[in-house]
Amino acid sequence: MEWEVIQRAKEAFVSGRSRPLDFRLQQLQALQRMITEREAEITTALKQDINRSQYDTSLLELIGIENEINLALDKLAEWASPRPVEKTLLTVSDEAYIRPEPLGLVLIIGAWNYPWAVTLIPLVGAIAAGNAAVVKPSEISGCSSLLLETLLPRYLDKDLYPVVTGGVAETQELLKHRFDHIFYTGSSVVGKVVMEAASRHLTPVTLELGGKSPCYIDKNCHIRVACRRITWGKFINCGQTCIAPDYILCEPCVQGRVVESIRQTLMEFYGPDPKSSPDYGRMVNQKHFNRVVALMEGYAPVLGGQCDASERYIAPTVLKDVPPHSRLMQEEIFGPVLPIVTVSGLEEAINFVNEREKPLALYIFSNDKKVIKKMIEETTSGGVTVNDVMMHYTLSSLPFGGVGQSGMGSYHGKHTFEQLSHHRACLLRSLAMESVNLSRYPPQDRQRASRARMALKSPLIDLSKKTYVWAVTATVIAVGLLVTLVVILLIAAGLNCTCWYWRGFYN
């Protein structure tokens, strides 16, 4: 079954119909219509999958997808154009450029936490780059998966962009086939399996994984505002966000204020009983509910801690003075539980982060620019937001992706287009001017050799700073001399004129 779907998609790509820009734009417009016209159904599906509120659906998924489509519609012609490059002496009269080309058939494997965003945003890039794409949404967000399977063929080309649903077994079957690129969003564990499967066909991959994203709160910062922003990022989608602040690092003197600020914010956001707030989500399924509850075992929370298995509800929970080597600090929490680990200061916080795997996101809250600079320079992560959380995800001009265990490759905006394109190096020469080429042919002698070496030197012009400064200085001096010369000539001519005038006058 899958084999047929994949074959059809491959054949559709080979036919060439996904390549013309008009076709790509038309497909993107159709996708845009799908999101707009079917918003209500998408919202219902997400409510059933993960108890996502209508507001959150727009905020967290649909706005992002719409923006991506709009950007692609606006910029596609520019993105897809050949990009000229600098030339050497040998190639000075040639055309040298990079030509973005589609890869072929892309496999997009989505995740359940933002089922629409993490499948459709890569799909936007795949379509924009001229590829065919097999979309495999996560079976855990079952309603969204089924809805996507129904909707996509109604709006997009059925053969070029099929949806394949199913669980682990179906995904494993899918991975046996050969694709030209695999784009996976999910856990590091499965990421390794995907990469290993891809290795059999030498298929390049983009892996958007996760990890524990640290959040450092400096003692010198607006703690109230910081905690409001952190609370928003942590408990949105019930903590099930790959870039949610996983844990807080702060000094002991600040911990109390942090806890109190979070408590106040939770009251502002969800009221005294988050369970009855329409704006607070649920754990996606029993398995994840049990997993997160188990993580909390043995700790007395300072905030929250209540759960209800029948609703898969876990209250927004904060734990303080969490030991660095506890189970809570071993794996990504991916739930509404926020541990606070105390550190003696910035140095210890930096070491703490560096001792662990490179995270997908790093958050720093501080008024002190030096603190911010030091932390950024002495750590690494997929991305960083300072004095807020998650916002770097929202700017499509920033590449979104991980490093090390948190992922490879990046996307959003033009970056998705780049990721799913092949950048073909093109040099178009003419068979004329063969005499220039003679120096590189055997039989070789010293003269020929030095001419050949000269022809291959690059750059054609020296673009170093020193030369630039000299060029500017020389130009200024030359212009100055020219102006002086003109002035002198004018004066001389003027004097002459005056002489003649006076001569005329006196004559």
Active site residues: 208, 242
User: In Å, how far are 315, 414, 448 from 299, measured between CA atoms?
Assistant: 15, 45, 79
When the beta carbons of 71 and 328 are compared against other proteins, the nearer one is: 71
When the beta carbons of 74 and 308 are compared against other proteins, the nearer one is: 74
When the beta carbons of 157 and 180 are compared against other proteins, the nearer one is: 180
Query: Which helix (DSSP H) or strand (DSSP E) does residue 365 occupy?
Result: strand 361-365
What does the block give as tokens for 324?
């660095």
| Rounded-to-integer distance, Cα 353 and Cα 382, Å | 13
When the beta carbons of 227 and 318 are compared against other proteins, the nearer one is: 227
| Rounded-to-integer distance, Cα 321 and Cα 341, Å | 5
Asked if 292 and 304 touch (Cβ cutoff 8 Å), the reply is no
The CB-of-44 to other proteins minimum distance in angstroms stands at: 17
| Rounded-to-integer distance, Cα 56 and Cα 233, Å | 12
The CB-of-383 to other proteins minimum distance in angstroms stands at: 4
The CB-of-455 to other proteins minimum distance in angstroms stands at: 9
Residue matched to tokens 């979070």: 262
Residue 63 C-beta-side C-alpha neighbours within 13 Å = 10
Total residues found in the chain within this entry: 507
Evaluate the CA torsion angle 427, 429, 435, 436 in order and state its sign. Answer: negative
Asked if 104 and 180 touch (Cβ cutoff 8 Å), the reply is yes
| Rounded-to-integer distance, Cα 242 and Cα 114, Å | 10
Residues 6+ positions from 266 with CB-CB distance below 8 Å: 231, 235, 274, 303, 304, 316
The CB-of-205 to other proteins minimum distance in angstroms stands at: 9
The CB-of-497 to other proteins minimum distance in angstroms stands at: 51
DSSP 313: E
User: In Å, how far are 58, 72, 336 from 67, measured between CA atoms?
Assistant: 12, 9, 28
Tally of CB atoms within 10 A around 369: 9
| Rounded-to-integer distance, Cα 300 and Cα 83, Å | 59
Backbone angles phi, psi at 132, to 5 degrees: -95, 155
| Rounded-to-integer distance, Cα 363 and Cα 383, Å | 9
The CB-of-236 to other proteins minimum distance in angstroms stands at: 9
What does the block give as tokens for 130?
């001229």
Residue 436 C-beta-side C-alpha neighbours within 13 Å = 15
Query: Which helix (DSSP H) or strand (DSSP E) does residue 505 occupy?
Result: helix 465-506
When the beta carbons of 297 and 377 are compared against other proteins, the nearer one is: 377
